[in-house]
Amino acid sequence: MDIVDFLSERITEDEAVARTLLGDRTVSQSGAWYEQRLLLECEAKRRLIHIVESARQAALASLVSDTVQEAGWIPQSLEWLEQSLNALALPYYDHPDFDQDWLRP
């Protein structure tokens, strides 16, 4: 499974749990605050994944482009982008679809 797909599925699951808990009238005010925060974190992660994936695709496109003058920056940038996605996957380390290779720094 691709890390972007993995993260998208986990975020969707987190968001569903938060929405379910927000619908529970027995949740305290602090619990409701936490669940609202979780929804915002899900949205922030989606935006960050979109930014990182867009940058990764742009770097790959530059790498294969005939007009690339100096592509020395691209491999390092791709490594940083991969590490960013790996960091986002860390909270889901115990999920059965988690790839242990994503743990490497």
Q: What is the pLDDT of residue 35?
A: 83
Q: What is the pLDDT of residue 13?
A: 94
**Domain-located, residue 101:** no
- DSSP, res 90: G
**Domain-located, residue 75:** yes
**Domain-located, residue 103:** no
What is the model's pTM? 0.76
Q: What is the pLDDT of residue 5?
A: 95
**Domain-located, residue 61:** yes
**Domain-located, residue 105:** no
pLDDT per position in the chain (105 positions), as tens? 899 999 999 999 999 988 888 787 787 877 778 888 899 999 999 999 999 999 988 888 887 775 556 667 778 888 888 999 999 999 999 999 999 999 876
Domain encompassing residue 11: 3-96
